[in-house]
């Protein structure tokens, strides 16, 4: 199992982490240049694709318009001069001198950079990855995690409870929690219950079930001590009986054979849960065929998380695993073929 202590994680993190700089600007003080650059005061700042998407969203809020009216895809497809004229005209037309927080935005960029990583609301409260690691150290000391991913905007940590394990070898399943944080306005501080399965010899694990234990939006008045106390209380209330029950339930799925055709089953999974991704579904189906596995709910879920493990990283991996986790409580899926609808039983 790929285990790292919190001290090791902090050492790795400090080698790559760049702190964020924030400042609040009013919409009327911003001009947009068609090459995805914001001009505010004497600063000329490039926008990442993520920040551009947030910028367009802020403009829609400013104009009180639905997302369908002005999409990021539409803005990106506009000629440079047209895009520049249209966005600045929107700001001029819809901005008023009323004191409204929708017209004041917080820009986030890495220290020393001229690239804006995020455009968030004025009320956004920073609690960055460095703060999160320091909070964990203050509460738990040098604890160990089974998975660790970090870039300069996102962090993912996975903890397995050693006493919550069922089965042996590759069918072994273990319960724990997954902790996520985000520095660019696309996610809360979030911890969720999960079930891991040991799916290969290097100890990589896959999420099976994901119920929120703790969530804190990056908004409002809170500090590290607030987070530490609330998080510790949430983790302290971790329901061991529920975790054990879900472990038993998942291992029992090895006896729930799926009788329908393998191609139909995986196509049904894709139709019902399209966010998993067609490439993941195809790889998972090929893995079932290659190793001549018996198709049951356990092997279906395992094949999908194995494919995710090999093709997705960081936040994209977590999101794909969460979508697969929805299969955990799903007893039936449907497959539409023309005018026909096939019902596929996943639990015998």
Same domain, 8 and 137: yes
For residue 230, being part of any structural domain is answered with yes
Same domain, 137 and 195: yes
Q: Residue 248 to residues 1, 241, 254, 314, 330: CA-CA distances in angstroms?
A: 21, 11, 11, 28, 16
| Count of domains for the chain | 3
Same domain, 139 and 237: yes
Rounded to two decimals, the pTM is 0.83
Same domain, 8 and 152: yes
Same domain, 164 and 308: no
Same domain, 132 and 225: yes
d(CA 252, CA 293): 16
Model pLDDT for residues 173-229, shown as the tens digit of each residue: 888 888 999 999 998 999 888 887 755 444 445 665 556 788 999 998 888 888 889
Pairing between β-strand 332-337 and β-strand 211-216 as defined by DSSP bridges: unpaired
Same domain, 211 and 338: no
d(CA 184, CA 187): 8
Same domain, 235 and 155: yes
Model pLDDT for residues 81-96, shown as the tens digit of each residue: 888 988 888 888 777 6
Same domain, 8 and 142: yes
For residue 106, being part of any structural domain is answered with yes
Q: Among the three residues 121, 152, 169, which one is the final residue of a domain in this structure?
A: 121
Q: Where are the beta strands (DSSP E) in the chain?
A: 4-5, 20-26, 31-33, 37-40, 43-47, 104-110, 115-121, 144-145, 147-150, 154-166, 173-182, 189-197, 211-216, 332-337, 340-345
- Domain ranges, residue 208: 4-13+128-241
Closest CA to 300 of 268, 275, 271, 274: 268
Q: What is the mean pLDDT of residues 141-150?
A: 86
Same domain, 236 and 145: yes
Same domain, 152 and 226: yes
Q: Which residue has the tokens 């919409």?
A: 27
Model pLDDT, residue 115: 97
Same domain, 304 and 211: no
For residue 273, being part of any structural domain is answered with yes
């Amino acid at each position: 199992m790929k285990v790292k202590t919190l001290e090791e994680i902090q050492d790795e993190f400090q080698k790559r982490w760049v702190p964020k700089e924030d400042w609040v600007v009013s919409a009327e003080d911003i001009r947009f240049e068609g090459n995805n650059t914001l001009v505010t005061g004497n600063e000329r700042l490039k926008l990442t694709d993520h920040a551009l998407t947030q910028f367009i969203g802020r403009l829609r809020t400013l104009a009180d318009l639905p997302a369908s009216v002005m999409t990021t895809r539409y803005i990106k497809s506009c000629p440079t001069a047209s895009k520049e004229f249209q966005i600045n005209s929107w700001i001029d037309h819809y901005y008023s001198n009323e004191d409204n927080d929708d017209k004041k935005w917080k820009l986030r960029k890495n220290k020393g950079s001229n690239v804006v990583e995020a455009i968030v609301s004025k009320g956004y409260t920073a609690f960055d990855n460095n703060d999160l690691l320091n909070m964990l150290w203050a509460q738990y000391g040098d604890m160990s995690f089974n998975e660790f991913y970090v870039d300069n905007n996102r962090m993912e940590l996975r903890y397995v409870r050693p006493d919550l394990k069922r089965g042996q070898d590759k069918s072994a399943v273990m319960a724990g929690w997954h902790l996520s944080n985000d520095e660019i306005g696309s996610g809360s501080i979030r911890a969720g219950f999960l079930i891991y399965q040991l799916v290969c010899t290097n100890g990589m694990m896959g999420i099976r079930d994901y119920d929120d234990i703790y969530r804190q939006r990056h908004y409002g008045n809170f500090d590290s001590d607030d987070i530490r106390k609330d998080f510790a209380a949430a983790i302290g209330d971790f329901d061991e009986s529920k975790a054990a029950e879900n472990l038993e339930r998942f291992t029992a799925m090895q006896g729930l054979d799926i009788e329908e055709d393998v191609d139909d089953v995986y196509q049904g999974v894709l139709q019902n849960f399209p966010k998993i991704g067609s490439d993941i579904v195809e790889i998972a189906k090929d893995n079932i065929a290659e190793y001549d596995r018996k198709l049951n709910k356990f092997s279906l879920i395992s094949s999908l998380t194995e494919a995710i493990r090999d093709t997705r990283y960081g936040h994209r991996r977590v999101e794909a695993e969460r979508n697969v986790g929805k299969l955990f409580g799903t007893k039936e899926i449907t497959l539409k073929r023309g005018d026909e609808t096939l019902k596929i039983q996943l639990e015998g």
